[in-house]
Every structure is written in structure tokens, then in C-alpha cells.
Amino acid sequence: MDDVKSRTEQSTKMKIWNVAAKVANLDREIDFVNGIGGKTVLDEMLEIEGRTYRVALMQIADKYLHLFEEAVYENQLEGPLQNGLCHVVFEVGDLHTARKRALDSGAVEVMPAQFISAGFGTRDVAFFRSPGGFLFEFAEIHEHKVPELA
């Protein structure tokens, strides 16, 4: 019984891994974040569904900030995504369980679950919109290639 309870708690446990922002000029924003005391962790090209996106992973205090000029899910939205903070990434223990809970609670899947691999490691991810319009991502991380932050 305790083993089943432990697995259930692990599969539903969530924590914020990073926040993401769309910016007009990625180089300028990287310089800005570094200027206020942040640190560039990664600046790389990410391929998803045959398209290439440049993304930067920045560390600010105890969290990561993902910056990009175009979000990987942007072409699947009904309208343009404005610059600024656009979604939060929750690390989950079990993407399938978290996805089902979100959909059962009224979320709409913006970008279906898929496996991605990049400088930050490997993970299964899916993007959603809450009934009120809040964009978020669930990520089941398989391999971390960047340090854990508090």
C-alpha cells in the first residue's frame, strides 16, 4: 500500500522548472539578463516538428528563464503570441497522468506530447491552455544536462 501511495505522489508531484518569454531581439535580451546579474546557460538551436528555433536558457537567481523570438507552439495558436512572459514550465513525475488531469480539468492541448532532446537534456513535453487562457507546459525530465536550481 505504501509503495502504491509513493508512486501516486511521485506521479502527481509538480514544481516550476522555468518560465518562458518571447522577445523581439534575442541577442539584446541575453545581454540585458546578463547585465542584471543573470547567466547564459545555453544558447542553441532546437528542432521540433521539422522547424528550427533558437532558444536561450538563462539563470536568474534560483530559476531558469527560457528566451526565444518564436515559441515552438506559436504556429498552433489561434492568434499571435505577444512579447513578454508567455508560459510556465512545470516539471512532472509522469506526463501521462499530469496531461490527463489537465485535460479532465478543462485545459486544451496546444501542442501534443512529444520527446525532445537539446542541451538541457531529454524530456517528454506537452503544451496546454487553461480555460482562462494561461499557457503552460508539462515536462517529464529523463536526463538533466543543466544543474538543478533551488
CATH superfamily of 2-144: 2,3-Dihydroxybiphenyl 1,2-Dioxygenase, domain 1 (3.10.180.10)
Residue 117's pLDDT is what? Answer: 94
10-residue mean pLDDT profile of the chain (150 residues): values are 50 86 98 97 94 96 95 92 96 96 97 94 96 95 88
pTM above 0.75, yes or no: yes
Cβ contact 71:96 at 8 Å: no
Backbone angles phi, psi at 31, to 5 degrees: -60, -40
Integer Cα distance of 146 and 14 in angstroms: 18
First to last CA, the chain: 31
Domain ranges of the chain: 2-144
Integer Cα distance of 102 and 70 in angstroms: 25
